[in-house]
């Protein structure tokens, strides 16, 4: 950039016309907007050769002073322009960081290799995780869980040049990302965590604490209980899915069916009869006796049970389960839970939910799981991990009876919704046929979407395929479009609509 100022002036001196011309050129760097140098060219076209030296010196001094004033003005204007340009640049940069960022972002998710996971490349976690993370499957490792959310034990990363954690993205855009009502209800974090589980052998006999207990456990044992939140959850079967969930309805019948269980507790039938009006008290009495029994006595009675069952020709499904659990965890007290907890088999498309302080254990199969954002687990059997047996026995509600199985509510031709009685979450399954579209429901809270299978787009500009995971801001209108190669199906976790 070049600024040129030309000054012409004429004056009559000693009867001779005199003209002076000054050309001042200011060269400015385009990139930095700062003056680089100033060049002055001065020529006298007509002058009085008889002018005295003194007068010439005086005129020269006046001209230099005038030129200095002009130069100062020019420098001031250029500096002001530079400062204004710099301020504008900073304003634009600030605007870029504070204005709305992408309302749909794709995520790189976390994989957990717990020893109960399915080994190799046949599990849903291995396949979806490999596609999502764009890395080969570690065939020698068990693939147990794929985490989608903001929990610190399995942080997700946004797939862009910033490589920002989803948690920090949400915190810095909380009202926009979460929505006002969600933010007021749950704070500056996504209130749910979405997972895929591939289960090869039984998970621990466990329960998740309520909010009050979680806060206490986190304060007392932060190495075991990583957060202060409760953890209600729901599992939707992808394959046939086996689990233990909640206590059976008749504690006395369990003792009558399994003599080894009765021997381990030392409970007489007369004791049970005395509590027949309070079956919850019966179950608490039996379960606590079993779980707190001495390890050596547990091993003795489990071995006796296994020997008896192997010798019998007629065994029911609970007997078969007890043998299977012992093969996985020899002589463990959790084997006895086959007779105390409900044994359920979910078919694909069926879901079961677990409130806080309810006992359960996943046994076999694959599922999509959604829960409150927490990783708090109180364990008491079928695990090599640390156990808090006394806390587990004390925290349980001892609610009896089979769990409710959800089959989903049909929202429209493309959408089935599973809504448990918890505020933090619900789950939708959205599908559309080849070269078709589906208008997704609009949530006032955030969403996390996992592509189960197929290829397509969301809103015509976010390309997705099997394994893709997308975070959507609150109030986002989304249209799912399948490709010409076939249909597409996704799981969508979101805040329970009853909150809004």
Hey, which residues are catalytic here? Answer: 379
On the CB side of 203, CA atoms within 13 Å amount to 25
SS3 state at 239: coil
The structure tokens listed for 113 are 């290799």
Q: Which residue has the tokens 């493309």?
A: 414
The β-bridge relationship of strands 35-46 and 104-108 is unpaired
**Whether the Cβ atoms of residue 411 and residue 232 lie closer than 8 Å to each other:** no
Residues 6+ apart with CB under 8 A from 311: none
Residues 6+ apart with CB under 8 A from 89: none
Total Cβ atoms within 10 A of residue 246? 24
**CA angle, residues 132, 177, 135, in degrees to nearest 5:** 10
The structure tokens listed for 399 are 């609610």
Total Cβ atoms within 10 A of residue 437? 14
Count H helices and E strands in the chain, helices first: 13, 28
Residues 6+ apart with CB under 8 A from 428: 411, 415, 416, 417, 418, 440, 441, 491, 492, 494
Helices 295-311 and 317-328: angle between axes, nearest 10 degrees: 130
Q: Cα–chain-centroid distance for residue 21?
A: 72
Residues 6+ apart with CB under 8 A from 94: none
Total Cβ atoms within 10 A of residue 56? 12
Q: Cα–chain-centroid distance for residue 462?
A: 19
């Amino acid at each position: 950039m070049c600024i040129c100022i030309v000054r012409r002036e004429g004056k009559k001196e000693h009867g001779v016309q005199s003209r002076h011309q000054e050309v001042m050129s200011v060269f400015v760097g385009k990139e930095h907007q700062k003056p680089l140098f100033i060049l002055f060219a001065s020529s006298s076209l007509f002058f009085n050769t008889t002018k005295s030296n003194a007068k010439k010196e005086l005129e020269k001094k006046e001209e230099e002073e005038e030129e200095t004033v002009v130069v100062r003005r020019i420098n001031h204007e250029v500096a002001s322009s530079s400062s204004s340009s710099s301020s504008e640049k900073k304003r634009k940069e600030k605007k870029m960081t504070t204005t709305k960022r992408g309302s749909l972002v794709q995520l790189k998710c976390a994989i957990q290799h717990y020893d109960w996971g399915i080994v190799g490349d046949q599990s849903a976690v291995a396949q979806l995780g490999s596609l999502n993370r764009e890395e080969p499957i570690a065939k020698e490792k068990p693939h147990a869980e794929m985490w989608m959310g903001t929990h610190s034990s399995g942080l997700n990363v946004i797939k862009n040049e910033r490589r920002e954690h989803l948690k920090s993205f949400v915190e810095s855009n909380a009202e926009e990302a979460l929505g006002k009502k969600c933010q007021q209800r749950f704070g500056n974090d996504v209130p749910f965590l979405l997972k895929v589980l591939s289960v090869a052998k039984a998970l621990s006999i466990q329960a998740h604490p309520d909010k009050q207990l979680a806060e206490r456990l986190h304060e007392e044992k932060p190495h075991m209980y990583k957060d202060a939140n409760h953890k209600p959850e729901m599992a939707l079967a992808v394959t046939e899915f086996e689990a233990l969930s909640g206590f059976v309805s008749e504690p006395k019948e369990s003792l009558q069916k399994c003599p080894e269980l009765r021997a381990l507790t030392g409970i007489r039938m007369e004791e049970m009869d005395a509590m027949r009006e309070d079956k919850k008290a019966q179950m608490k009495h039996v379960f606590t006796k079993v779980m707190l029994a001495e390890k050596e006595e547990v091993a003795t009675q489990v071995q006796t049970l296994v020997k008896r069952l192997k010798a019998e020709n007629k065994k029911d499904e609970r007997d078969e389960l007890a043998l299977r659990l012992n093969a996985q965890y020899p002589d463990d007290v959790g084997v006895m839970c086959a007779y105390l907890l409900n044994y359920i088999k979910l078919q694909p498309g069926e879901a079961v939910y677990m409130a806080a302080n309810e006992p359960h254990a996943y046994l076999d199969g694959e599922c999509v799981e959604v829960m409150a954002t927490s990783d708090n687990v109180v364990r008491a059997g079928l695990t090599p991990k640390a156990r808090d047996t006394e806390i587990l026995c004390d925290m349980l509600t001892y609610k009896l009876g089979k769990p409710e199985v959800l089959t989903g509510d049909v929202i429209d031709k493309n959408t089935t919704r599973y809504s448990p009685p918890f505020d933090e979450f619900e789950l939708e399954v959205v599908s559309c046929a080849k070269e078709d579209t589906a208008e997704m429901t609009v949530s006032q809270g955030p969403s996390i979407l996992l592509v189960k299978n197929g290829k397509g787009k969301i809103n015509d500009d976010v390309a997705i395929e099997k394994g893709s995971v997308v975070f959507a801001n609150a109030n986002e209108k989304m249209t799912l479009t399948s490709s010409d190669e076939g249909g597409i199906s996704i799981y969508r976790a979101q805040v329970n609509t009853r909150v809004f």
